[in-house]
Amino acid sequence: MVRIGVVGGGSWGSALAILLNNNDHEVHIWMRDKKQVDLIRETRENKKYLPNIKIPKEINISDDIEEVIYGKDLLVLAVPSHGIRKVLEENRKHFNKKQVLVNVAKGIENDTLYRVSQIVKEILPENPYAVLSGPSHAEEVAMNMPTTVVSASVEKKVAEYVQDVFMSPTFRVYTNTDVIGVELGGALKNVIALGAGISDGLGYGDNTKAALMTRGIVEIARLGEKLGGNIITFAGLAGIGDLIVTCTSMHSRNRKAGILIGKGMEIDDVIETVGMVVEGIKTTKSAYELAKKHDIDMPITEEIYDVIYNNKDVKSSVINLMLRDKKHEMEDIIEKILK
């Protein structure tokens, strides 16, 4: 039995808490909102984020973060990526350096353009760190539907430890040492998923979505490799696997948000309507700035950025993408060969 604290009680944090409890671990969830904590304690259901799923009585729920962090072997960081820095900085004194930190958020910080591992390294540099990512909707994991993800850490033994803790008959975990690639794949696919949703909102079909996904993974891999990720990672669970599920499922907040944008809704209204954090909106800004900083060609990302942040007409963006200069499909590979 491993003592586990889940920092963040949204849909994903709640689903993983249920999974870990089912694996016979001791689980304690932190939620900021005391009213939400009291309601879940009473009903054993997270009605706001994970409705119609029972939270076992063995799982402790608290609004006291010190209580949730103290004495734990492993801590799951399940707050949105843009909130991780604040949570860690405000509570760093409660952590001890032996605790394994497992990030399950998917995003890139706007101000610093840091991945979550870089934020953690800055604030809690001695703690073992892993990222858990892949095609995994909280709703399906909570219902014990077969799911496969990847545990990535620069330390192989840490990745394997996380694998052992999370693995179950319905939750298969592979390991990887490419933290950069896994984190970027998980974050950047949300940008492309916004595009897939916009396409759906405009009434376009499967051809358009297939094109967005296929050329989208090229952009993700292009930037990911430049930043030190392994190109092969983007062909795996944290790359094309996560991209497929996020672009095609109605569980996807990013796809839902894209659909509303494609139908003409204003961004603030989109966020309010979805009702939960849409990581792709903030990540689009970070991805756009990273592409500019490193001189990486990411035309889909650039168009989505203009739609969200410059109020560009979505149909104009589609036309721009279709009428770009003619290219060979394997241009990146050809350029490498010629070099």
HSE (CB half, 13 Å, CA atoms) of 99?
24
Q: Please provide the average confidence, as pLDDT, over all residues in the chain.
A: 95
- pLDDT the model gives residue 159: 98
- Tell me which residues are annotated as active site: 189
Burial 67-76 (b: 16+ CB within 10 A, else e): ebbeebbbbb
Give the architecture (CATH level 2) of 3-177: 3-Layer(aba) Sandwich (3.40)
The CATH number of the structural domain formed by 180-338 is: 1.10.1040.10
Question: Is it the case that residue 288 has pLDDT exceeding 80?
Answer: yes
pLDDT at 339 over 80: no
The pLDDT of residue 233 is 98
Residues in the chain: 339
Region of 203 please: left (phi>0), alpha (psi -120 to 50) or beta: left
What ranges do the domains of the chain cover? 3-177, 180-338
Q: What is the reported pLDDT for 338?
A: 55
**pLDDT (mean) for 190-196:** 96
85 by DSSP, 3-state: which?
A: helix
- In single-letter form, the type of residue at position 302 comes to E
Q: Is 25 left (phi over 0), alpha (psi -120 to 50) or beta?
A: beta
- Predicted local distance difference test score (pLDDT) of residue 335: 65
Question: pLDDT digits over 142-172, tens only?
Answer: 999 999 999 999 999 999 999 999 999 999 9
pLDDT (tens digit per residue) in 27-85: 999 999 999 999 999 999 999 999 999 999 999 999 999 999 999 999 999 999 999 99
Q: How far is CA 70 from CA 96, 124, 162, in A?
A: 8, 15, 19
Does residue 337 surpass a pLDDT of 60?
no
Question: How many other CB atoms are found less than 10 A from the CB of residue 249?
Answer: 15
Please tell me the predicted confidence (pLDDT) of residue 334.
54
Count of beta carbons in the 10 Å neighbourhood of residue 3: 15
Q: Take residue 90 and report the two structure tokens written for it.
A: 């405000």
- State the Cα–Cα distance between residues 21 and 9, nearest whole angstrom: 14
